[in-house]
């Protein structure tokens, strides 16, 4: 018997094909068996002989084993499929997360591009706007310089808007020197400077022309020690900005009043400045707005006259100019009476302009084109300026 072949045998050891037969013995009558045609039950040790029912049992046992193996493999496959499904779900979640991240990054990138585009457009627009303002304001300034001195003034340095903004920390309150006014302290080219910027309409009309007049006259008198020196200007704002040497306003607070002799010296130096406006130029200049807010003191205590927005020039060959009554401008308490009542401006008449009022020291201090007068406790003293 071939013990090594489980189930139904196919061939015998001798090479013959195994056949299924029916036993005719009394003991196993009618029992099916598989045997080599060359052998018999007595020669089963040399030729194949197996009872069919045993072959069937072996086939069933092998089939059960295979089923068990298949079931085990199926369980493993099911677990593997579950792991794959879990992995697929994880990948799907990661994919969705990546898609969300990528979508957000794309959105942020688009926003950055849009912001950059807007910034470029804004900068380009601002640059063009500043260029247009520079050309417009520069034209008005040149026309005023030609009118006043045939364009033969001291060179005027120009600063960019960015330089002014940086110098004043974008016109911050910490740099704002005087409340309700337009004076700023700043640092420009490593020097402390005074920056004058008009942020609203200062006068009833012609704001631009008045600021330009301030620049023009300041440039003409910058060489004189008793005028606030103009270092340059910026024409890139709607209203041009003046950059001047740094100086402080004269103190008017009763707690910080200056000695009487100091007031006299200030008045004398301002009188000299006013006189200078009338003499060295082809056209006499009349300040028209002398008041304490336009007088400064430098670190050495030297008085400096400023604020030429309302200055008027008298044409060559003429002795006066006249303005309409509704165009009379200036600080009300300091306007000259004849000018207010008649609108007449001359370089000869005593155009007295009040400077100071102090109850303790100087009761009423005035200057004219050629003389300084102060009154103290009812005593009038006149100092003539040559």
Q: Residues with catalytic annotation?
A: 289
Pair 365, 352: CB distance under 8 Å = no
Pair 356, 365: CB distance under 8 Å = yes
| Strand spans (E) along the chain | 19-22, 32-35, 49-51, 183-188, 191-197, 230-234, 241-245, 248-249, 284-286, 295-297, 303-305, 312-314, 320-322, 344-346, 353-356, 364-367, 371-376, 379-384
Q: Is 242 exposed, middle or buried (0-12, 13-18, 19+ CB in 10 A)?
A: buried
* 349-368 burial code (b ≥16 CB/10 A, e <16): eebbbbbbebeebbeebbbb
Beta bridge partners, 201, equal none
Candidates 6, 30, 32, 31; CA nearest to 19 is 32
| Residues in Cβ contact with 206 at an 8 Å cutoff, skipping those fewer than 6 apart | none
Q: Tokens at residue 315, please?
A: 């044409």
Candidates 348, 309, 206, 284; CA nearest to 338 is 348
Torsion of Cα atoms, 95 then 97 then 99 then 105, to 10°: -150
**C-alpha–C-alpha distance, residues 369 and 319, integer Å:** 14
């Amino acid at each position: 018997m071939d013990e090594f072949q489980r189930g139904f045998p196919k061939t015998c050891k001798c090479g013959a094909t195994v056949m299924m037969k029916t036993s005719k013995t009394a003991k196993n009558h009618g029992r099916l068996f598989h045997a080599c045609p060359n052998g018999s039950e007595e020669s089963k040790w040399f030729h194949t002989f197996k009872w069919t029912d045993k072959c069937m049992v072996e086939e069933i046992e092998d089939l059960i084993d295979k089923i068990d193996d298949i079931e085990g493999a199926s369980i493993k496959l099911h677990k593997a499929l579950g792991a794959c499904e879990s992995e697929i779900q994880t990948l799907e979640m990661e994919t969705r997360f990546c898609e969300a991240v990528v979508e957000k990054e794309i959105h942020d990138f688009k926003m950055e591009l849009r912001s950059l585009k807007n910034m470029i457009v804004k900068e380009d627009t601002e640059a063009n706007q500043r260029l247009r303002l520079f050309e417009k304001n520069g034209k008005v300034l040149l026309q005023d310089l030609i009118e006043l001195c045939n364009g033969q003034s001291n060179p005027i340095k120009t600063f960019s808007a960015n330089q002014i903004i940086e110098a004043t920390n974008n016109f911050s309150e910490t740099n704002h020197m005087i409340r309700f006014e337009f004076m700023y302290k700043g640092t420009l080219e490593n020097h402390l400077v005074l920056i004058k910027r008009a942020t609203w309409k200062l006068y009833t009309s012609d704001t631009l022309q008045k600021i330009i007049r301030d620049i023009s006259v300041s440039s003409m008198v910058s060489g004189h020690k008793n005028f606030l020196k103009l270092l340059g200007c910026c024409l890139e704002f709607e209203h041009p900005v003046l950059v001047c040497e740094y100086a402080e306003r004269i103190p008017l607070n009763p707690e910080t009043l200056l000695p009487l002799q100091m007031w006299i010296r200030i008045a004398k130096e301002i009188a000299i400045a006013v006189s200078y406006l009338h003499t060295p130029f082809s056209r006499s200049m009349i300040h028209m707005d002398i008041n304490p807010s336009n007088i400064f003191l430098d670190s050495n205590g030297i008085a400096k006259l400023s604020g030429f927005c309302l200055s008027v020039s008298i044409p060559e060959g003429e002795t006066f100019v006249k303005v309409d009554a509704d165009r009379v401008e200036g600080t009300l308490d300091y306007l000259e009476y004849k000018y207010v009542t008649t609108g007449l401006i001359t370089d000869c008449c005593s155009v007295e302009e009040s400077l100071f009022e102090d109850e303790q020291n100087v009761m009423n201090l005035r200057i004219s084109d050629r003389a300084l007068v102060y009154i103290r406790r009812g005593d009038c003293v006149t100092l003539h300026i040559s």
